[in-house]
């Protein structure tokens, strides 16, 4: 199986030993504590599950700045985005001490992790501006990722963590949430050698489904891992439980048995376009995928990124940083001429009117009115689930 990045073995930071877990949980209740941001909690979940191997905790400002500018820490370890624990205040917290990190997304703010504090630093306006520019390519506070990053505080607490739980993801999505450890184990149990991963934060329409089939066929893959984001999204995006149900129905009806795994991960969407595409590829290698589909406007939002910036950025990553291979895809749509879904760049004789193309706004309007999109756009079984959701609003 493909090796994790920067390590021979996956390095999950979750405390799996029962006795050690119990002891640390009891110790945490007596430690100074801070309620962290939703983004930091998501990072803890990802580190806990091994997705961010070989990171051992939250970065220093120097490492975060280096990662923003070069996609490498100061020691040369490849990582595509800063992983910071930014808080409003570190009053009562001392360097060298342990602190309890409390989860902002669960009632009662239980302890999600214990951190050993290696440094407490104030991030300057200039440093925040540099990281924002390098990662998001914009400083527009209307950008949901920029806004989230710049509104959680300027005090960075760095140091290694030990993770005690996986927040609400393991309880609200018990059939879908999987750690990188678990996905690697499932891939191994299937006996899959060549595995392609598909990222989604939306329900999958027919074009997405067919793109997965294309990738599996062209790469001669043994299996597909549909890996959906389960964390926070921008207003208007479809909630994770609805996406989950729609995707499961699609796989059940339209994929051969045991050819596709439906899984999810606990992380808030960054909407960072190219940089987030690299992060997506990074943790897909760590979960055991050998290939990863990068589509048009991958992880983008609005008009902040070019249609294929998330593909060309892979020309700029440090040599040898990742072993996972990219399946670079164009926009896919139903061809009226060929009566099937095609990649638009592969049909030179087509004009725009030769494709079935619907805007997101139009699709949402149809669903809200109880009207299924055409079968060339969406499977009827999927459309029904989405119609039920929109009509319940």
- Residues with a catalytic annotation lie at 201-202
Contacts of 367 (CB under 8 A, 6+ apart): 373, 383, 386, 387, 389, 390
Contacts of 247 (CB under 8 A, 6+ apart): 200, 203, 204, 226, 228, 262
CB 81 within 8 A of CB 46: no
CB 182 within 8 A of CB 264: no
Return d(Cα 15, Cα 48) in angstroms, integer.
Answer: 8
At residue 111, what are phi and psi to the nearest 5 degrees? Answer: -75, 120
Residues in the chain: 393
Angle separating helix axes 61-70 and 125-136, nearest 10 degrees: 30
Identify which of 311, 310, 221 has the alpha carbon closest to the alpha carbon of residue 271.
310
CB 271 within 8 A of CB 201: no
CB 52 within 8 A of CB 161: no
CB 193 within 8 A of CB 278: no
Return d(Cα 270, Cα 257) in angstroms, integer.
Answer: 33
Identify which of 383, 386, 195, 214 has the alpha carbon closest to the alpha carbon of residue 295.
214
CA 206 to each of CA 13, 53, 106, 295: distance values in angstroms, whole numbers, following the listed order: 38, 34, 35, 15
Identify which of 334, 363, 362, 327 has the alpha carbon closest to the alpha carbon of residue 350.
334
- Cβ–Cβ contacts within 10 Å for residue 306, how many? 15
At residue 334, what are phi and psi to the nearest 5 degrees? Answer: -75, 125
């Amino acid at each position: 199986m493909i090796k994790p990045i920067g390590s021979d073995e996956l390095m999950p930071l979750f405390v799996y030993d029962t006795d050690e877990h119990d002891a640390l949980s009891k110790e945490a209740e007596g430690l100074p504590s801070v309620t962290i941001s939703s983004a930091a909690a998501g990072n803890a979940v990802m580190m806990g599950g091994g997705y961010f191997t070989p990171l051992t905790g939250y970065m220093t400002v120097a490492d975060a700045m280096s990662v923003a500018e070069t996609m490498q820490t100061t020691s040369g370890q490849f990582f595509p985005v800063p992983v910071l624990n930014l808080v409003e205040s570190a009053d009562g917290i001392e360097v060298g001490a342990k602190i309890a990190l409390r989860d902002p997304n669960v009632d009662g703010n239980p302890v999600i992790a214990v951190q050993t504090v290696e440094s407490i630093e104030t991030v300057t306006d200039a440093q925040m501006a540099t990281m924002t520019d390098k990662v998001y390519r914009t400083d527009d506070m209307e950008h949901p990722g920029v806004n989230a990053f710049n509104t959680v505080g300027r005090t960075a607490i760095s140091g290694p963590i030990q993770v005690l739980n996986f927040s609400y993801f393991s309880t609200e999505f018990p059939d879908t949430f999987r750690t990188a450890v678990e996905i690697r184990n499932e891939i191994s149990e299937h006996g899959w050698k060549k595995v392609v991963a598909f990222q989604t934060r939306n329900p999958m329409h027919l074009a997405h489904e067919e793109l997965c089939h294309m990738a599996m066929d062209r790469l001669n893959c043994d299996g597909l891992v549909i890996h959906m984001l389960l964390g926070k999204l921008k207003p208007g995006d479809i909630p994770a439980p609805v996406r989950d149900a729609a995707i499961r129905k699609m796989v059940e009806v339209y994929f051969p048995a045991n050819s596709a795994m439906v899984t999810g991960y606990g992380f808030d969407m960054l909407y960072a376009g190219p940089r987030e595409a690299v992060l997506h590829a990074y943790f897909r290698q760590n979960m055991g995928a050998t290939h990863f589909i990068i589509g048009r406007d991958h992880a983008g939002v609005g008009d902040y990124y070019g249609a294929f910036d998330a593909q060309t950025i892979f020309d700029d990553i440090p040599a040898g940083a990742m072993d996972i291979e990219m399946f670079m895809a164009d926009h896919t749509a139903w061809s009226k001429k060929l009566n099937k879904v095609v990649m638009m760049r592969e049909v030179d004789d087509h004009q725009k009117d030769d494709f079935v193309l619907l805007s997101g706004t139009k699709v949402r309007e149809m669903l809200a009115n109880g009207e299924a999109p055409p079968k060339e756009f969406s499977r009827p079984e999927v459309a029904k689930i989405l119609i039920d959701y929109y009509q319940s609003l």
